[in-house]
Amino acid sequence: MFGYYFRLGVRSLRRNPALTALMIVTLAVGVAASVSTLTILHMMSSDPIPAKSDRLFVPLIDPGPVKGYTPGERPDDIQITYQDALNMLKSGQGVRRTAMYGVEASVEPPRREIAPFNMGGLAPTRDFFAMFDVPFDYGQPWTEADEARGADVVVLSRAMADKLFGDVNPVGQRLNLMGFPFTVVGVAAKWKMLPRVYQLQGGSPYATGEEFFMPLATAVRHETQHRGGMTCSANIGPGFAARLASDCTWITAWFETASAGDRADLQSWLDNYAAEQRKLGRLTRNAPNQLFDVQGWMEYTHVVGKDSKLQTWLAFGFLALCLVNTIGLLLAKFSVRAAEIGVRRALGASRAEIFRQFLIETAVVGLVGGVLGLVLAFGALALIRMSSDSMATVAHMDWEMLGLTFVISVGAAILAGLLPTWRACQVTPAIQLKSQ
């Protein structure tokens, strides 16, 4: 019976083509607006490293002063001190460890037609690339020897390598950064997860990702300033060395464990480490020591802001408005079929059968509206990608969102069709037969 009613629904699309077209377009526009917005929110909040996100952890201890502190409040900064980061690198905890901070450097392009400019980068330790599964088109990360001596070496993103050197292998080439000659040792491949990893370091969710990577020790040796400035927990003297020696919170540390079950052991180590630092007088707030996995860290640092969630609710509000219009159009479409319904009822069709028939017809309209809505959503996401490079990694649809598009469209159509279908079931056969 479902198949029969479905075929009737397909045939009914040709009835009142103007009304049918208006319903389909109304549903399609509402679905496209809600789905494209929901897709961006979904991609921004999705797990950037699903293969190992439950084995990557960020430690957070609070080195801030006691003055003005209320027990239980959120730390002033979501990063740790440089000294704590070095201690964690030397701790031997987990299978890999890294520490990093965002930097910005002036660059003198080797191609004379390009004027000097500033680019944003990251200063991590070597384990970063293995921990976050960064792929390479050319070369490789710097060596342990390079890291130990703070060598002037750099890994470029593929986009930056193409901009500076063209479509060639630049490994071994020299590049002037901050007035110093750096050697290119690798080119990170175009990797859609790289901007998402950048979010985890406190970067904007709309950022395109890092453009270069230099060793942490190199950035410190050249006194490379933190991108966006530093925040300090105490008044200190001028100079980069003074800031390093103080409790300036400007480093993010990460641990990778062999399994997710090692989290408890890592938390125990972190608690013991914090207790030792309190005895030394470095940690005075006695705040709880926190350990976040990837998803927890994204939630804690508000990678998906309230404005993005508000936009999603506004898009669903627009969809609701489209549903109200669709209800009116369905009422008009079904009202002209009162005679048909009266004849069917007189021939023995029950109200339940009439209800099923018209609700399935409504679902067919929703299905067609979903197809058109999907086309419009793809077009909207493509325009967003073209207009903003920073949205390229989040303005694309995966299979999960593809299926959700049809669920939303058919569900919305059925919801809009409940009242018109119920009204159609109330047709009195005798009155219709008499009037005909």
Would you give per-residue pLDDT tens digits along the chain (436 residues)?
667 667 766 777 777 777 778 888 888 888 887 777 777 776 666 667 778 888 999 998 877 666 766 666 666 667 788 888 899 999 999 999 999 888 888 999 988 888 999 888 889 999 999 998 889 999 999 999 999 999 999 999 988 999 999 889 999 999 999 999 999 999 998 776 665 565 566 544 444 556 899 999 999 888 887 765 444 444 333 455 555 555 555 788 999 999 999 999 999 999 999 999 888 877 777 778 889 988 888 777 766 655 556 666 666 777 777 777 777 777 777 766 666 666 666 666 677 777 777 778 888 888 888 888 888 888 877 777 676 555 555 556 666 777 777 777 777 778 777 777 777 666 665 554 445 5
Give the whole-angstrom CA distance, residue 260 versus residue 50. Answer: 13
**Do residues 339 and 375 touch, judged by C-beta distance below 8 A?**
no
DSSP state of 428: -
Give the whole-angstrom CA distance, residue 326 versus residue 331. Answer: 9
Q: Which residues, at least 6 apart from 51, have a Cβ–Cβ distance to it below 8 Å?
A: 133
- pTM (predicted TM-score): 0.69
State the residue for tokens 């964690």: 88
**Do residues 105 and 261 touch, judged by C-beta distance below 8 A?**
no
By CB neighbour count within 10 A (0-12 exposed, 13-18 middle, 19+ buried), where does 306 fall?
exposed
The CA-based angle 105-107-109, given to 5 degrees, is 160
Give SS3 for 132: coil
The CA-based angle 90-135-158, given to 5 degrees, is 115
Give the whole-angstrom CA distance, residue 38 versus residue 87. Answer: 42
Give the whole-angstrom CA distance, residue 293 versus residue 119. Answer: 29
Give the whole-angstrom CA distance, residue 63 versus residue 266. Answer: 19
